[in-house]
Structure 1
Amino acid sequence: MFLPRKITNTYRKMINSIGFYPSLLSVVFLIFSVLTISIEYLPAIQNLKSLMSVVLVNSAENARTILSTLAGSIISLTVFSFSMVMIVLNSASASLSPRVVPGLITRKSHQIVLGFYLGSIIYSIIMLININKLDSGDIEIPALGVLFALIFGLICLGFFVFFIHSISKAIQVDNVLNGLFRQTNCEIEDIEKKQKQQPIDSFPDFSQWHGINSTTQGYYKGVHTEQLCALLAEQNIKLFITVKQGYFTVKGYPFLKCDKNIADNKELVKKILACFIFYIEEYISDHYRYGLTQISEIAVKAMSPGINDPGTAVKSIDMLSILLMERLKIRDINYTYQHTDNEPLLYFHETSFDELLHDNFTPLRNYAKNDAYVMTNIIEAFKNILFVANHNDDARNSLFNYLNAIVDDINEHITNKYDRQQITNMLNTITLISEKQGKQLVERFEKHT
């Protein structure tokens, strides 16, 4: 079944909303409160209550006081916790990068805590309105429900302590960077494993394939792979996605190519295009490139005059170098099979190594070109990547082309003799990896000394 694009986009927005799990848990607590009331006065439950009467309330006034206090207190905790979330998001956007905000919003632990708060409030209120006076003059007290409400209140206190601890860690730049690094590295490793499990020797000549124009404008963020591959297998066709993930496309742009001309089959083209995802936010789970971008932007933000934290910039640079080394293990064109098929049905671009260098280091190079400490560490990061990429001609050439740009910036903006000597020493270590190109780099630098 092919769901309309609007439905899938709405579903994605819903599950990535800060209110998704709180809303879900609120419904669960509402159902549990109705269930509790429905079994509260059954004979078997009455016998159970008589055995545990020491922990049950037997006064309507006490029950109202306990439930009112619990509801009011948890409302205060909820307001404070939501306020803390907003402060953290604002601080993360200002001091780290606006792109890390979606990841913080969708953190499930925080959403579950907030959902438990809301659910406990709803449960307490349902119990409160079910303290009823009978015709005989007696009062029905949902004693078991009051006990559950009290337990939920105590759990909320424990969650509050956890929430304060977690939210204070969430804003620490080291924790944010480590989280981004781990998630990005996992995404790269997953692609590497898939390519090793399903190796391919050669690729078709995509230039001879037939173009399919986009009917949507926006940022291409992904594709429902299994759904699309099932359709391709059914129609016995293959598809190549010409644009890279995260790039902006406009209506009429030929962002797909097919090995058969299906332009006249409007219904099939519509089904194929419905499998593609367009939205604005950047989630690392969609593509590792977004993780690299977020780490790079944190480094750039750290170099701004208002923050001035070169240590964070250097740590970000080291993480980028490790991730780029991992990226070298992936082929530039990726592919997807359908289950046990021997030939790929869907081909798509990976962002090239050269583009990743440009996209992630250019903003940092421009903002840090006056800082000898950071520029020296960028050169060191490139040296470390060269150790891995030295036998990859394309990657090595990309690295040295970019190093030439770095040297030109250093020559223009760093004049202190001591700083230039440190940079010279770092450039000399590169000659140990690639003597010819390394010496050319040193000569280019020393011409301006």
Structure 2
Amino acid sequence: MFVPRKVADSYREMINSIGFYPSLLSIAFLTFAVITMSVEYMPIIEKLKSFISVVLVDSAENARTVLSTLAGSIISLTVFSFSMVMVVLNSASASLSPRVVPGLITRKSHQLVLGFYLGSIIYSVIMLININKLENGAMAIPALGVLFALIFGLISLGLFVFFIHSISRAIQVDNVLNGLFSQTKNEIKTIIKSQQEAPLKNLPDFTDWHSINSQTEGYYKGVHTDKLCALLSAEEIELYITVKQGYFTVKGYPFLKCNKDISSNDELIDKILSCFIFYIEEYISDHYRYGLTQISEIAVKAMSPGINDPGTAVKAIDMLSILLIKRLSISDINYSFKHSKDTPLLYIHETRFDELLHDNFTPLRNYAKGDAYVMTNVLEAFKNILFVAHENSAARESLFNYLNAIVDDINEHVTNEYDRQEINNMLKSIARISKQQGDTLLARFKRQ
């Protein structure tokens, strides 16, 4: 089924909003309130109420007092909780990285708590307005509904304690880093597993494939693989995405290639392009590269004069080294066999290893090039990657090319003899892994 891109973009924006789950829960509580009032005065429910009369209100005044108190109290909890969310988002943006904010906004646990608050308020108000005087002068009291409202209020208190605990942990840099690291590693493992389960021996030559131009501008963030592969299978065509995720495209840019010329089929091209995702936010679930970027930016932020936290920078560097080691197991061209058994229908350009080194270590190298402690740990991270990749000639060449840039910065900005000796020792450790290139690196490191 063809879904227009604007509809798909609106849907994605809606589900990634902080109000998505609260809205769903509010509707659920409203529905439950209507159901409660529909069965409240049924004979079987009246019998049930007689058995649990000890926990039910017995007067309209008590019911109004309980419901009013619950609604007012939960409103206060809601206001405080939303304020805490805003404080956390501002703090995360200022002290960590603006790119981690979307991940915090879409954290389901926080949205579910806020949604439960709003639903409890709605339920209590619905019960409150259904306390009516009957024709014989008696009062119709939704005693069962008041009991449910009281239970929801008690649960809200427990959720409030959980919320305070969770929100206080969410802003701690170690927890943020650990979360980013785990998510990114899982995304890398998913790609590795898919390539190992369906290995591809030979890649096609994309040189003579026909280009498809972009019809929109924006950051390419991903593709609906299932939807696109189903379309490609039905049309018996193959597609190659020539740009890496996160690349900014403009109208008319040839970011796709097809093994058949479909330039005259505008409807098919529109269907293909509708499968691609363009937006600004970076979610690790879209691609592991965004996790690497966020970890790197946290390290850079930690080295800023206002924060000055080299320990966090070093921890982030160690995490980057582990993730880059995992990345070595991924082919530079990814592919998908979905809806096909023989050959892949979709080929995806993965960010190359040297590009990942440049994108994630260059900002850190520029900000921390005068800090011998951090630069020594950067060298140690490269040593660890080299230890695993010493037989991978392409990765080894990329690592030593970048190490040359690191050594040039160290030569210019690190002048203390003690610091230079520590760096020299680390370079000797690198030389033991790859002697020829390591000796060249040592010779580049000029002693003063």
The TM-score normalised by the length of structure 1 is 0.99
Aligned counterpart, 1:182? 182
1:107 aligns with 2:96: no
Q: 1:340, CA displacement in angstroms?
A: 4.8
* Structure 2 spans left out of the alignment, 5+ residues: none
Partners of 2:309 and 2:421 in 1: CA distance: 23
1:236 aligns with 2:230: no
Q: 1:209, CA displacement in angstroms?
A: 0.5
**Equivalent position amino acid for 2:80 in 1:** F
- Cα deviation, 1:5-32, whole Å, max 9, x if unaligned, reads 0111111111110000000000000000
Aligned counterpart, 2:292? 292
Partners of 1:385 and 1:224 in 2: CA distance: 33
Aligned residue for 1:211, secondary structure, equals strand
**Equivalent position amino acid for 1:335 in 2:** Y
Aligned counterpart, 2:303? 303
Partners of 1:413 and 1:224 in 2: CA distance: 47
Partners of 1:251 and 1:60 in 2: CA distance: 66
Partners of 2:272 and 2:103 in 1: CA distance: 29
Q: 1:423, CA displacement in angstroms?
A: 0.3
Q: 1:432, CA displacement in angstroms?
A: 1.2
Q: Tell me whether 225-234 or 53-62 shows the greater mean CA deviation.
A: 225-234
Aligned counterpart, 1:33? 33
1:200 aligns with 2:200: yes
1:327 aligns with 2:330: no
Q: 1:102, CA displacement in angstroms?
A: 0.1
1:63 aligns with 2:63: yes
- Cα deviation, 1:354-407, whole Å, max 9, x if unaligned, reads 000000000000000010000000000000000111000000000001000000
Aligned residue for 1:432, secondary structure, equals helix
The 5 Å alignment of 1:15-414 reads: 15-414=15-414
Q: 1:233, CA displacement in angstroms?
A: 1.0
- Cα deviation, 1:177-221, whole Å, max 9, x if unaligned, reads 000000000000000000001101111110110111110100011
Aligned residue for 1:212, secondary structure, equals strand
**Equivalent position amino acid for 1:33 in 2:** A
Partners of 1:249 and 1:311 in 2: CA distance: 37
Deviation >4 Å, runs of 4+: none
1:438 aligns with 2:435: no
**Equivalent position amino acid for 2:438 in 1:** G
Aligned residue for 1:2, secondary structure, equals coil
Partners of 1:44 and 1:235 in 2: CA distance: 60
Q: Percent identity between the aligned chains?
A: 77
Q: 1:448, CA displacement in angstroms?
A: 4.3
Partners of 2:428 and 2:13 in 1: CA distance: 51
Q: Tell me whether 140-149 or 338-347 shows the greater mean CA deviation.
A: 338-347
Aligned residue for 1:164, secondary structure, equals helix
Partners of 2:379 and 2:267 in 1: CA distance: 53
**Equivalent position amino acid for 2:297 in 1:** E
Q: 1:51, CA displacement in angstroms?
A: 0.6
Partners of 2:112 and 2:21 in 1: CA distance: 6
Partners of 1:267 and 1:107 in 2: CA distance: 37
Aligned residue for 2:433, secondary structure, equals coil
Contact 2:337-2:345 at 8 Å conserved across structures: yes
Q: 1:338, CA displacement in angstroms?
A: 2.3
**Equivalent position amino acid for 1:44 in 2:** I
Q: 1:264, CA displacement in angstroms?
A: 0.9
**Equivalent position amino acid for 2:358 in 1:** H
Contact 2:229-2:339 at 8 Å conserved across structures: no
Q: 1:274, CA displacement in angstroms?
A: 1.1
Partners of 2:134 and 2:236 in 1: CA distance: 72
Partners of 1:164 and 1:319 in 2: CA distance: 28
Q: Tell me whether 318-327 or 330-339 shows the greater mean CA deviation.
A: 330-339
Partners of 2:334 and 2:53 in 1: CA distance: 66
Q: How many residues align?
A: 448
Q: 1:275, CA displacement in angstroms?
A: 1.0
Partners of 2:339 and 2:225 in 1: CA distance: 11
Aligned residue for 1:220, secondary structure, equals strand
Q: Tell me whether 330-339 or 287-296 shows the greater mean CA deviation.
A: 330-339
Partners of 1:349 and 1:340 in 2: CA distance: 19
Partners of 2:254 and 2:189 in 1: CA distance: 30
Q: 1:339, CA displacement in angstroms?
A: 3.6
Partners of 2:226 and 2:99 in 1: CA distance: 28
Aligned residue for 2:87, secondary structure, equals helix
**Equivalent position amino acid for 2:394 in 1:** D
Aligned residue for 1:136, secondary structure, equals coil
Q: Tell me whether 222-231 or 289-298 shows the greater mean CA deviation.
A: 222-231
Q: Tell me whether 269-278 or 316-325 shows the greater mean CA deviation.
A: 269-278
Q: 1:443, CA displacement in angstroms?
A: 1.0
**Equivalent position amino acid for 2:60 in 1:** A
